[in-house]
Structure 1
Amino acid sequence: MTGAAFDPSAASIVVVTFNRSGLLRRLLTSIAAMDPKPGRVVIIDNASSDDTTEVVDSVRAEIGTEIVYRKLETNTGGSGGFSEGMRTAYELGSEWIWLMDDDVEVLPDGLARMGAWAPRFKSIQGRRYDYDGSAFYWQYRIAERMGIPIPFAPAGFDETGFKRMNSGCFEGMFIHRSIVQQIGLPDPRFFIYWDDQVYGWLASRKTMSVVVEDFVLRRTREIKQWDMGVRHMNASSNAYRYYIMRNRAYIKQYYRHHGVYNPVVFGLGTTMTFVKEIIRLLFVERTARGTSNLFRGLRDGGRIGRDRTWRPMSPLEA
């Protein structure tokens, strides 16, 4: 089944940034070199204290497309930034919304490659090169009842050039406005972590979501990693450790709402997440300090999980 031909001018790139003006400049420079370009670029600045505003102003004339810049009063995290960016792009009438962080650059034909899949699918994830030029492996499938990624889902593609996914990543999610309308905006309550997985999962319940074989982005920030052969495990931070565990409660609430929550199976997923973070501490960051943030996240998540007044994000008006 195919839809209407893809119109690049009806697409918006949404970028969330925070105190990384150098990386943002590099991303915007790559957008200026794109062919075709999107109709607009929406930049959500999470209350940066560096020269982000000046960087945006300096590229307006050269980027070759409209820039919509929003500087928030407080740092709302990646979750809040993408929620505001999605809202802005949606209200501006964008048919396609392409989400990305500030630490990537777009390949010159990236939008054309994504657009080639647009007549067939409405939730699409392209591939990325890692900082060193290798293919970045992304866990595109989740074990639904456990609410965790499947670590070694097949990386290869067959002759179709795509694989079905039931997750999402805001570093490259390409989504149609009709799906956004049905599932609402990304949930800002996550602040960081698990937000894009849940959003991609919600999208996959409304449409056939796919990851495609085309490379469209390149990461521009080096992250400390543990090379496990099949894949890498990245370094983290105390903030990430806290939200990784706390936000399990938000997944739990979404699962309850959609009738897929199984306390035993989901609890196993939470336990495996905790163990994974301990392994990350010991083998990537070479320390045992930071476990207190995992326990704080579990404690605060417990309160969220017991809140029977909790409601998911609402669908949007047409």
Structure 2
Amino acid sequence: MTSHPVVVAVVVTYNRRELLQTTLEGIASGTRVPDAVVIVDNASTDGTAEFLQQYQGTVTTDVVTLNTNVGGAGGFVVGMERAVLDHRADHVWIMDDDTEPQPDALREALDVSESYRQAAGKAPAFIASRVVWTDGRDHPMNRMRPRMGASENERSAAARLGATQIRTASFVSVLIRAEEIQQHGLPIADYFIWNDDLEYTARISRRGTALTTNASVANHHTKVFGDAGADPGPRFYYEVRNKLWVYTRSNALAPWEKVLFTGASLRNWTRTIAASPNRKVLLAGFFKGLRHSLKAPRSNDQVLQGIYALRNVQEPVR
């Protein structure tokens, strides 16, 4: 890795043109901007494709327009692979299209990553930003808990840098070392939405170090301030199926972690269903997710076969 590591941002978007514009403005206004931005458009129908065709930013953009919506999971597979293979990234900075990185988000994440490497002799697998809602409160949907089982030395080493050891993070401003992607592979596209980030960040941090730092901040522009327990409607299917896939089909979690996570999920699901005015919808999603979790996810090649429609690389405006 060079003294000026190559950083490629990956943004996945679907039918949120105005929010995407905010995301790109946040990236471009940083005190450290990425060397390129890969934007994966999941077959949007709201004018996003036209906006991206005309977009002229101050950072090189690599726009990939898909002919099928393969969800956030599939979009990140496409974008992360392109960042590593085509752009030769040292770090891949990933986020959804409702993320607004604050000016120092990338620079602080890079600084913490390098400082930890110098102090501990090994670089962290990823650095996750502190995620806040539009009013500055910590977003409960993106809450990151300290890693259970971390040694006192490990916790102290992170604390000296203003960081905390964590186990998992959401795909809202996460800086991942390309070497980790090459070693552990890509997210699982068949998750479509939800919990692909749980599985992937847990996979690459199981035997490595992952950190979050309050110095790197991103706003998450969700419609409401709430966590995953908010009534998800028909999408509850993906919550159930995908979490069960994590617990039964992935080696991302240790056996004791699977027991704890499963218990927590069962409690959360029970509360969500009990509090919902649409219990029939959630119960239908629960049983459908339970049934479909019995079959393993398809390979990324199967899910992503034939999805490419257009690629457009634009040089930055000087």
What secondary structure, in the 3-state scheme, does the structure 2 residue paired with 1:302 have?
Answer: coil
Q: Residue 107 of structure 1 aligns with which residue? A: 102
Does the C-alpha gap of structure 1 residues 242 and 6 become closer, same or farther in structure 2, counting only changes over 3 Å?
same
Of the three residues 81, 88, 104, the one matched with 2:82 is: 88
Verify the 8 A CA contact 1:241 1:277 in the aligned structure 2: no
Q: Residue 192 of structure 2 aligns with which residue? A: 191
Shift of 1:185: 0.5
Structure 2: distance between partners of 1:271 and 1:288: 16
What secondary structure, in the 3-state scheme, does the structure 2 residue paired with 1:179 have?
Answer: helix
Shift of 1:136: 2.4
Of the three residues 243, 258, 270, the one matched with 1:275 is: 270
Higher relative contact order (CA 8 A, sep 6+): 2
Structure 2: distance between partners of 1:51 and 1:293: 31
Instruction: State the one-letter code of the partner of 1:128.
Output: V
What secondary structure, in the 3-state scheme, does the structure 1 residue paired with 2:34 have?
Answer: coil
Of the three residues 135, 139, 142, the one matched with 2:143 is: 139
Shift of 1:295: 1.6
- 1:288 and 2:279 aligned: yes
Verify the 8 A CA contact 2:8 2:38 in the aligned structure 1: yes
Q: Residue 33 of structure 1 aligns with which residue? A: 29
TM-score (norm 2): 0.78
Structure 1: distance between partners of 2:266 and 2:91: 37
Structure 2: distance between partners of 1:29 and 1:54: 17
Percent sequence identity over aligned pairs? 27
Shift of 1:164: 1.0
- 1:171 and 2:172 aligned: yes
Shift of 1:294: 1.5
What secondary structure, in the 3-state scheme, does the structure 2 residue paired with 1:247 have?
Answer: helix
TM-score (norm 1): 0.78
Verify the 8 A CA contact 1:13 1:40 in the aligned structure 2: yes
Verify the 8 A CA contact 1:40 1:66 in the aligned structure 2: yes
Structure 2: distance between partners of 1:91 and 1:182: 13
- 1:23 and 2:7 aligned: no
Q: Residue 7 of structure 2 aligns with which residue? A: 11
| Cα offsets for 1:134-153 (capped at 9, x unmatched) | 22243324999xxxxxxxxx
Instruction: State the one-letter code of the partner of 1:27.
Output: T
Q: Residue 316 of structure 2 aligns with which residue? A: none
Structure 1: distance between partners of 2:170 and 2:261: 21
Gaps of 5+ in 1: 145-156, 226-231, 314-318
Q: Residue 301 of structure 1 aligns with which residue? A: 293
Query: Aligned pairs, how many?
Result: 281
Structure 1: distance between partners of 2:146 and 2:31: 34
What secondary structure, in the 3-state scheme, does the structure 1 residue paired with 2:107 have?
Answer: helix
Structure 1: distance between partners of 2:42 and 2:272: 27
Root-mean-square deviation over aligned CA pairs: 3.0
